[in-house]
């Protein structure tokens, strides 16, 4: 998601200030924390490094979740990728692996995310456009043809239909000869942030949370190497939340999911080690690094003190990090290469386990192979040439970074308390409190860019005329939707109609029974070649669809 920003027309004095220096602006972080001019030993008077820092790889994990961090375990280099058909995406993945990719992030098209098939009138023109179309098990097999699912870590941002993705993924692995216990990867499965930010929700919040719990519960028992949830702060930050707000909301969402599975009779130490997170990084890389450190410390504290977790694995905040796409600009897009490099520094100085950066042209189009490669090389240059990976937590002890880490944690705790005071995150979402906060923050951010209070090089300062010649853009296949529809029609002719109908009826019966886990009946429907849209329709018939309250 990228906010578009038009160029304001400053007067002469404003132009001189903007063009020649950053003076006159407010000295605040991206989250609005005011900054003094300098930090000294007095800043950390009374600060206890044993309590606040500890040792790398040990509670409270401020310094990172591994003792040696990147010396032994470099961060995973990822990129969101996927378009067109399964074959198109498969070829792209193999290209990216040859150019420095070490982990897969699968982008799925909008109809699939919304539980619709490619021939559904509500989504037929979007099939395969901004992600791959996954209408059936056959499509999943095409995506991962020749890519062993027990060796490659793959992730996807599926949420409302995460349970269907899991079923298709597990069965695709089964056809490769792998049991569920061997598969690796992550499904986002974070529905609450869809209500808050992205909007690809389908069912009301309560049954949606049940589906999240079903995925986690099934993986506890059958797929211990697979991450059944990745709670995301990034989309809320892109929708307007500050960096600190987005992480606090993310932790509040995580507690809802944790409570759901514990309610089913599992211990916190069975559930918490399966959680992973996706948090943002920005060009303001000091704050990004500080917030990574604060989030680790806060999660460890919550799990140990509030939930009583005993297993150190439950205290560990395993994080992937995504660059802030709202900072990328369509104007002078090559400037974005500097921004994504700063994004990488913020994530890695903060100790992230996995980094996903946007390509420089994603402010206006899908990435080209050239821009994909440039982004992968930016990560590899930071990893191999900057020295960031040579020592553990290189910012430790900085007056500024330690002060900012403490301040960020305090702000996150205050937001969590406010959410608890109104009855928890689900109540806050249903009342619209969080959505309104994010909308106000998004408006303020845009205002600051428009009036030049916040700099965007190439947009409101140092604006230059574009060089002659058109920018290379991604060329999509206009026939991808038609071909996907033809494949669906062929699939439907080949299925056993009786078995298919019975599997969908059994799914409806299971959905009406609050005590049943829906992964097994969905898996049986997928085996009978039920499409994503047919499964989505069966669940809609039982759960209904969500309509947000007016005024949100």
Q: What does the DSSP assignment read for 438-504?
A: HHHHHHHHHHHHHTTSS--BTTTBS--PPPSSPPP-----TTHHHHHHHHHHHHHHHS-HHHHHHHH
| Mean pLDDT value across residues 410-418 | 97
Q: How large is the average pLDDT for residues 464-485?
A: 70
Inform me whether the pLDDT recorded for 7 exceeds 60. Answer: no
Mean local confidence (pLDDT), 304-317: 98
Residue 1 has pLDDT above 50, yes or no: no
Tell me the whole-structure pTM to 2 decimals.
0.91
Place of tokens 């991962």: 144
* pLDDT (0 to 100) of residue 207: 97
Cα–Cα distance, 425 to 257 (Å, whole number): 11
Task: Provide the pLDDT confidence category of residue 474 given band limits of 50, 70 and 90.
Answer: low
Which of 5-9, 511-515, 537-541, 548-552 has the least mean pLDDT?
A: 5-9
Contact 392, 69 (CB under 8 A): yes
Residue 352 has a pLDDT of 97
pLDDT band at 84 (very low <50, low <70, confident <90, very high): confident
Residues 6 or more apart whose CB falls under 8 angstroms from that of 441 comprise 240, 241, 242, 245
pLDDT in tens, 423-456: 999 999 988 899 999 999 999 988 988 888 888 8
In the predicted model, what is the mean pLDDT of residues 137-142? Answer: 95
Domain ranges of the chain: 59-450
Q: How many CB atoms lie within 10 A of CB 17?
A: 16
- What CATH class does 59-450 carry? alpha beta
Token code pair at residue 308: 């009583």
pLDDT band per the 50, 70, 90 thresholds, residue 3: very low
Of the ranges 114-123, 233-242, 284-293, 381-390, which one carries the lowest mean pLDDT score? 114-123
Q: What number is the average pLDDT over the span 307-330?
A: 95
pLDDT interval class at 12 (50, 70, 90): very low
Mean per-residue pLDDT, 96-114: 87
CA distance 489 to 335: 45
Phi, psi dihedrals of residue 123, rounded to the nearest 5°: -145, 10
Spatial distance between the Cα atoms of 292 and 313, rounded to a whole number of angstroms: 18
Query: Residue 15's pLDDT is what?
Result: 33
pLDDT tens for 261-295 read 999 999 999 999 999 999 999 999 999 999 999 99
Distance CA 294, CA 280 (A): 13
- Would you say 237 and 280 are in contact if contact means Cβ atoms under 8 Å apart? yes
- Give first-to-last CA distance, the chain, whole Å: 19
The reported pLDDT for the residue numbered 92 is: 87
- Whether 251 shows a pLDDT value over 90: the answer reads yes
Query: In the chain, pLDDT over 90 holds for what percent of residues?
Result: 73
| Res 57 pLDDT > 80 | yes
What integer best gives the mean pLDDT of the chain? 90
Whole-number percent of the chain with pLDDT over 70: 93
Judge whether residue 74 has pLDDT over 60. Answer: yes
Q: What is the CA radius of gyration of the chain?
A: 23
Tell which residue, 157, 200, 169, 189, has the closest CA to residue 257: 189
**Quick check: 352 and 320 in contact, CB under 8 A?**
yes
- Classify strands 354-356 and 76-81 as parallel, antiparallel or unpaired: parallel
Q: Provide mean pLDDT across the span 142-163.
A: 91
């Amino acid at each position: 998601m990228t906010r578009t920003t038009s160029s304001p027309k400053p007067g002469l004095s404003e132009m001189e200030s903007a063009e020649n220096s950053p003076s006159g602006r407010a000295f605040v972080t991206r989250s609005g924390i005011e900054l003094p001019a300098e930090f000294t030993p007095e800043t950390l008077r009374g600060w206890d490094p044993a309590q606040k820092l500890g040792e790398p790889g040990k509670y409270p994990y401020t310094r990172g979740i591994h003792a040696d961090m990147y010396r032994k375990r470099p961060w995973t280099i990822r990129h969101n990728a996927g378009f067109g058909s399964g074959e198109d995406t498969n070829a792209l993945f193999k290209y990216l692996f040859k150019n420095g990719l070490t982990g897969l992030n699968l982008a799925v098209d909008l109809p699939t995310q919304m539980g619709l098939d490619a021939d559904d009138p509500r989504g037929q023109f979007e099939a395969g456009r901004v992600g791959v179309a996954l209408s059936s098990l056959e499509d999943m097999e095409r995506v991962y043809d020749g890519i062993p699912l027990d060796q490659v870590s793959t992730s996807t941002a599926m949420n409302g239909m995460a349970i269907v993705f899991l079923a298709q993924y597990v069965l695709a692995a089964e056809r490769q000869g792998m049991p569920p216990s061997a598969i690796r990867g992550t499904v986002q499965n974070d529905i609450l942030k869809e209500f808050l930010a992205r909007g690809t929700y389908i069912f009301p919040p309560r049954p949606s949370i049940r589906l999240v719990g079903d995925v986690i519960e099934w993986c506890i028992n059958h797929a211990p190497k697979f991450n059944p949830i990745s709670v995301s702060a990034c989309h809320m930050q892109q929708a307007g939340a500050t960096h600190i707000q987005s992480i606090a909301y993310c932790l509040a969402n995580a507690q809802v999911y944790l409570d759901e599975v514990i309610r089913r009779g599992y211990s916190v130490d069975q559930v918490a080690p399966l959680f992973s997170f996706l948090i943002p990084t920005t060009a303001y890389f000091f704050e990004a690094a500080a917030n990574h450190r604060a989030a680790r410390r806060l999660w460890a504290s919550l799990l140990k003190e509030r939930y009583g977790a005993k297993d150190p694995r439950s205290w560990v905040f395993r994080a992937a990090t995504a660059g802030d796409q709202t900072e990328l600009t369509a104007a002078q897009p090559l400037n974005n290469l500097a921004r994504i490099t700063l994004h990488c520094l913020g994530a890695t100085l903060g100790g992230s386990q996995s980094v996903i950066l946007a390509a420089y042209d994603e402010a206006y189009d899908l990435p080209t192979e050239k821009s994909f490669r440039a982004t992968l090389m930016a990560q590899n240059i930071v990893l191999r040439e900057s020295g960031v990976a040579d020592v553990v937590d290189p910012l430790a002890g900085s007056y500024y970074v330690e002060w900012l880490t403490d301040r960020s944690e305090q702000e996150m705790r205050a937001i969590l308390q406010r959410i608890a005071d109104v009855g928890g995150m689900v109540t806050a979402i249903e009342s619209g409190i969080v959505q309104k906060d994010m909308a106000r923050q998004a408006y303020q951010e845009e205002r600051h860019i428009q009036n030049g209070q916040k700099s965007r090089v190439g947009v409101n300062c140092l604006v230059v005329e574009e060089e002659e010649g058109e920018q290379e853009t991604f060329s999509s296949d206009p026939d991808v939707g038609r071909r996907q529809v033809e494949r669906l029609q062929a699939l439907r002719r080949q299925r056993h109609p009786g078995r298919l109908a019975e599997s969908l009826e059994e799914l409806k019966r299971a959905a009406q029974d609050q005590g049943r886990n829906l992964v097994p009946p969905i898996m049986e429907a997928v085996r009978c070649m039920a499409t994503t849209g047919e499964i989505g329709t069966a669940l809609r018939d039982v759960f209904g669809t969500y309509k947000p309250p007016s005024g949100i």
